[in-house]
Chains A and B, each alone.
Chain A
Amino acid sequence: MTRDSTNAVDVSNLAYRYDKVAALNGLYLRIPEGALYALLGANGSGKTTLLQVLMGIRVAQQGSVSILGSDISALTIQERARIGYVAEGQRLPRWMRLEQLEAYLAPLYATWDFALASQLRTRLDLDPARKLSTLSRGEYMKAALLCALAPRPKILLMDEPFTGMDVMVKDDLIRGVLDTAGSEGWTVIVSSHDIGELETMADWVGIMGGGRMRISEPMDTLRERFRYVDVTLGDAGSVPVMEQWIAVERAGQRLSFLVSNADDALAQRLTVQLPGATRVDVRDATLREVFVAMSKRTSAVAS
Chain B
Amino acid sequence: MSFIAQVWHVMRKDARQVRVLLLVYVAAVAASAEHAIAPTDINPLLEMVVLLLFVLGMLVAAGLVQADSPTRNDAFWRTRPLRPMAVLAAKVVTIIVAVLLLAAVAQAMVLTILAVPFRAAVPLVGNSARIYATWLLVAVIVASATRDLRTFVVTLMAGAFATLVSISLIGAPKFQLALSHVELPLRLLGAAGGIIFVVHLYRGHDITRRTLLCGVFPVIALLLPMFAAAPGTPESELAGTSTAHLKLDLEAGSTPVRPEVRIRVEGAEAGKRYRIRSGVVVFHQHGKDTLQIKLPEELVELDRDSVVNFPIGDASRLQAPVDSIVLTGTLIVEAMASGDTLRYRQFSTAARDGRRVTITKVAPFFDDALLVLTTTRVEEGSTPVANGGAGDDGASTARLVNTVLHESIPLHRMRGGTSSRSILLSGVSLSESSDTYKAGPLDRFSRGRTVDAAWLKDAYVELTRWVLEHKYPVHDTVVLK
Contacts and interface: CB of A to CB of B under 8 A. Distances in A.
B188 to A, nearest CB: 31
B74 A87 contact: yes
Q: Enumerate the 7 nearest inter-chain pairs by beta-carbon distance, A residue then B residue, closest first.
A: A81-B81, A85-B79, A80-B81, A59-B205, A77-B81, A91-B74, A91-B76
B206 interface: yes
A109 B79 contact: no
A253 to B, nearest CB: 51
Interface size class of A (residues with CB under 8 A): 20 to 34
23 contacts: A52-B73, A56-B78, A57-B73, A57-B78, A57-B79, A58-B73, A58-B205, A58-B206, A85-B79, A87-B74, A90-B76, A90-B79, A91-B76, A92-B76, A93-B17, A93-B67, A93-B76, A95-B17, A104-B9, A104-B13, A107-B1, A107-B5, A109-B81
A107 B81 contact: no
A59 B81 contact: no
B82 interface: yes
Nearest to B81: A81
Interface in B35-84: 67, 72-76, 78-83
Interface string B6-25: 10010001001100000000
B72 A91 contact: yes
Nearest to B5: A107
A165 interface: no
A44 to B, nearest CB: 17
Contact of B81 (A52, A78, A95): A78
Nearest to B18: A95
Interface string A22-66: 000000000000000000000000000000100111110000000
Contacts of B78: 55-57
A59 B83 CA distance: 16
Nearest to B75: A91
A107 B73 contact: no
Interface in A83-113: 85, 87, 89-93, 95, 100, 104-105, 107-109
B108 to A, nearest CB: 33
Given A55-B79, A85-B79, A108-B81, 20 more contacts: A52-B73, A56-B78, A56-B205, A57-B78, A57-B79, A58-B73, A59-B206, A77-B82, A77-B83, A80-B81, A81-B81, A93-B13, A93-B17, A93-B67, A104-B9, A104-B13, A107-B5, A108-B6, A108-B80, A109-B81
Contacts of A91: 72, 74-76
A107 B9 contact: yes
B9 A108 contact: yes
A109 B1 CA distance: 8
Contacts of A90: 74, 76, 79
Interface in B343-370: none
A294 B206 CA distance: 30
Contacts of A59: 205-206
A62 to B, nearest CB: 13
Residue in A95, A105, A109 with the greatest tally of chain B CB atoms within 10 Å? A95
B147 to A, nearest CB: 11
A195 B149 CA distance: 39
Nearest to A48: B73
Contacts of A58: 73, 205-206
Contacts of A80: 81
Nearest to A16: B206
B280 to A, nearest CB: 48
B17 A105 contact: no
Contacts of B81: 77-78, 80-81, 108-109
B364 to A, nearest CB: 66
Contacts of B9: 104, 107-108
A71 to B, nearest CB: 15
A218 to B, nearest CB: 28
Residue in A56, A85, A92, A108 with the greatest tally of chain B CB atoms within 10 Å? A108
A108 B80 CA distance: 8
Given A58-B73, A90-B74, A91-B72, A105 B206 contact: no
